[in-house]
Amino acid sequence: MSNPVTLDKPGETVLLMGNEAIVRGALEAGIRIAASYPGTPASEIGNTFAEVAKEMSIHFEWSTNEKVAFEVVYGASMCNQRGMVSMKHVGLNVALDIMEMAALRGVKGGLVFVSADDPSQHSSGQEQDQRWLAKQNCVPALEPSDPQDAKDFTIYAYELSEKYQLPVMLRTVTRVSHMRSNVKLGKLQKLERKAEFDFEQFSYVVAGFDKLFYSREKEANEKIMKIKVEFDTSPLNKLVMTGKERVGVIATGQTYNYVMDALVKMGAKDKVAVLKLGTSNPLPEGLISKLLKGVDKVLVTEEPDPFVELHVKALAKDVNPKVELYGRMNGKLPGEGELMPLMVDSVVAEMLGEKLPQNPRAEVEKESTDMIFGRMLTVCAGCPHRPSIYALKRAVKAVKGDIHKVVINGDIGCYGLAWAPPMSYEDTYFCMGASLGVSQGMSQVGVDTIAWIGDGTFFHAAIPALMNAVQTKTNIKVVVADNSVTAMTGFQPNPQSGKTATGEPTVSVPIEALAKAVGVEHIEVTDAYDTKATEAAFKRMLLTEGVAMVISRRVCATEAIRRMRPKRPVPYEVDESKCVGCKLCLSTFGCPGLSFDEEKKKASIDPIICMGCGVCAQVCNVGCIHGRNE
């Protein structure tokens, strides 16, 4: 069945995820190219493009990182083609160099970039609000509230981009990216534009340095002022106000849904003026001023920073100094994280002087806190990262005498869960590629370290740091936990996978070849499932002076099951007559396929979960675990 985002039936309604709706909007806008690097909550944008790119005759790629993805799309934009680049919020940090230059130099074909922010850090190291970067760079930012908005705002973003020759930020949050709702389809469009470089706008030779840079700062400021005027009458912003209300709400993006739910529950829709804000940079100051002048109290709802609230507060000083502002800055809403319906309900009720309506769900949640415990993070059954860290832990203890004599600097990916019990062997976890950089700093001041990194992250950001370590003769050890896919974000290919985003075969770029090319002399490749051989390789690495690397390789367990379908792996089992109940398999290895019967004092293996990797049999000291055919 074809993906619904390619359905060529204008006017028909389909169920789409927010990220899928963005892709549909880009297709209706007639894009020719898209690029991304996977990262939750943005991954499904790229996944959807990868699925439909051939059918829609567009180019899509999973680039090696977000900066490269942005550069690829910007290159096409300079040649008058529309394109989209998508990433999670912290990915925009990686792409910031080229984003800033694109904003300054301008675009030709419409360029829309998606920053999928992650309030409350569901799958991120921090909840950075990227609207500040839009303001910093005079880039318009649009904030949809649901999938229909996501599609419609995307189409408008291309028109806006080409009208003002600026890249446009489509800023979503986790709940918009992943919510599903009905979306009314428009007409699919293919723009027949000749691809040619605009020398007058972009070439140093023709335009000259001064025109390309210094004069562009003034142009950028002028553009954003014109956009501010346009946003005051844009349909993306909707003010519902009779003039009789004494209370108002400015609801940004998806928080609009919570506000309207609260007003419906309280029967207060006619008592509150509501400005649905779809453009957060620049703000529609005319519309906001109209609301501020007509009410006594205003609530600003947004996620996660008080970005809009701060600007509304400044505007209120001139428009209506007596208006009382509610939001994150005065403590009525939390200063960080996602907003929840109950939070919004509470503040709206307070502003109206009404009693908060009963919420049965809140009572159930309160009662459940004493009954349900939080699920611990862990890697999957059969994950090759578990035996890799198990072997590394044993090797460090054997060579150094104490596992805490070495700092394990982790990186971003599934293997980053090495800190979780019972492995509990990872000390730091920062951002893409940081494991190699911070390890070098520690080594230079005399602290033993190991950089613990995955294959996708190695290609994304580790190569410059690895070259630096070789060039500076830094004594660091590098373990690449290579599972052959970008597993945490949805099994996307990377440069070593040997296939493109759309599944076509391509050249594989081996990690060991790159490491050798930049000057690493000690490189070993092991099978992660062979714990003895891997442990021995780690010991040799630790005893080597200078930069040394071990690549512990085995395909991701979940990906392996996908490849073997319709067959299933043959699970291992425990011979209870031999099991002595020592719990060594659980306390030192802890695969989720293992469990323990406290009455029998025996270990067991769940045949549904077991991957059949056999590593637990290597861990067991009494030989009670074996394959079914043994």
Beta bridge partners of 596: 603
Annotate 488-501 with DSSP letters as a single string. Answer: TTT-B--TTSSB-T
The H or E element that residue 479 is part of is strand 477-482
Helix (H) or strand (E) holding 91: helix 89-105
Alpha-carbon gap, residue 208 to 200, rounded angstroms: 9
d(CA 510, CA 73) in angstroms, rounded, equals 26
Which pair of tokens denotes residue 475?
A: 């004594």
Bridge partner list, 182: 15
Question: Can you give the pLDDT at residue 210?
Answer: 65
192 class by beta-carbon count within 10 Å (0-12 exposed, 13-18 middle, 19+ buried): exposed
- How far, in Å, CA of 380 to CA of 569, rounded? 14
Q: How far is CA 132 from the centre of its chain?
A: 18
**487, 559 contact by CB (below 8 A):** yes
**In the prediction, which pLDDT does 201 show?**
84
**pLDDT 10s digits, 600-624:** 999 999 999 999 999 999 999 999 9
Contact 392, 479 (CB under 8 A): yes
- The mean pLDDT value for 287-307 works out to 97
Give 552's pLDDT tier (boundaries 50, 70, 90): very high
CA distance 287 to 285: 6
Q: Contact 594/605 with Cβ under 8 angstroms? A: yes
Provide Rg for the chain, Cα atoms. 27
pLDDT tens digits along 408-446 = 999 988 888 888 888 889 999 889 889 999 999 999 999
Rounded to an integer, what distance in angstroms lies between the CA atom of residue 469 and that of residue 454? 18
Percent of the chain with pLDDT over 90: 83
User: What is the rounded average pLDDT of the residues 128-144?
Assistant: 96
Is the CB of residue 34 less than 8 Å from the CB of residue 58? yes
User: Whole-angstrom Cα distance, residue 403 to residue 396?
Assistant: 6
Q: How far apart are the first and last CA of the chain?
A: 43
Cβ atoms of 218 and 267 closer than 8 Å = no
Q: Tell me, what's the pLDDT at 360?
A: 67
pLDDT (0 to 100) of residue 487: 84
Kindly list the distances between the CA atom of residue 360 and the CA atoms of 262, 269, 357, 363, 364, in Å, as whole numbers in the listed order: 14, 22, 10, 5, 6
For residue 335, count CB atoms less than 10 angstroms from its CB and return exposed for 0-12, middle for 13-18, buried for 19 or more. exposed
- At residue 247, φ and ψ (nearest 5 deg) are -125, 140
Q: Is the pLDDT of residue 298 over 70?
A: yes
Distance between CA atoms of residues 184 and 153, nearest Å = 13
pLDDT in tens, 202-235: 876 666 666 666 677 888 999 999 999 999 999 9
Per the document, the length of the chain is: 630
**CA dihedral over 245, 247, 248, 251, signed as positive or negative:** negative
- Average pLDDT of the residues in 55-62: 97
Question: In this predicted structure, what is the pLDDT of residue 490?
Answer: 85
Please answer whether residues 237 and 287 qualify as being in contact, where contact means their C-beta atoms are separated by less than 8 angstroms. yes
Q: How confident is the model at residue 200 (pLDDT cuts 50, 70, 90)?
A: confident
Q: Two tokens at 142?
A: 């649009």
pLDDT at residue 102 above 60? Answer: yes
Structure-token pair, residue 393: 């832990």
Task: Name the pairing type of β-strands 477-482 and 449-454.
Answer: parallel
Q: Which residue has the tokens 């740091």?
A: 465
Output the pLDDT for position 374.
Answer: 72
* Concatenated DSSP letters of 536-591: HHHHHHHTSSS-EEEEEE---HHHHHHHHTTS-PPPEEE-TTT-----HIIIII--
Q: Residue 144 in contact with residue 116, Cβ under 8 Å?
A: no
pLDDT tens track for 274-283: 999 999 999 9
d(CA 484, CA 454): 9
pLDDT score at 2:
81
CA-closest candidate to residue 87, choices 144, 137, 31, 49: 49
Q: How far apart are CA 471 and CA 444, in angstroms?
A: 13
Who contacts 158 (Cβ-Cβ below 8 Å, separation ≥6)?
A: 26, 29, 30, 31, 82, 110, 112, 168
Q: Which of 112-116, 251-255, 564-568 has the lowest mean pLDDT?
A: 564-568
The answer to whether residues 484 and 497 touch, using CB atoms and an 8 Å cutoff, is: yes
DSSP-derived pairing of the beta strands 141-142 and 594-597: unpaired
Other Cβ atoms less than 10 A from the Cβ of 174: the count is 26
Q: What is the pLDDT of residue 205?
A: 65
Place of tokens 């005319």: 286
The residue written with tokens 């804000």 in the block is: 277
- H or E segment to which residue 104 belongs: helix 89-105
Given the structure tokens 């318009």, which residue do they identify? 140
The Cβ of residue 568 has, within 10 Å, a number of other Cβ atoms equal to: 13
Work out the mean pLDDT of the chain and round it to a whole number.
93
CA distance 434 to 61: 25
The residue-averaged pLDDT of 444-466 equals: 94
On whether the CB atoms of residues 36 and 63 are closer than 8 A, the answer is yes
Q: Which two tokens stand for residue 326?
A: 């509610």
Contact call for residues 46 and 492 (beta carbons, < 8 A): yes
Bridge pairing between strands 625-627 and 572-574: antiparallel
Domains of the chain: 4-231 (3.40.50.970), 238-368 (3.40.50.920), 385-564 (3.40.50.970), 572-627 (3.30.70.20)
pLDDT for the residue numbered 368: 76
Could you read off the pLDDT of 335-358 as tens digits, one per residue? 999 999 989 999 999 999 988 777
Position 322 pLDDT exceeds 90: yes
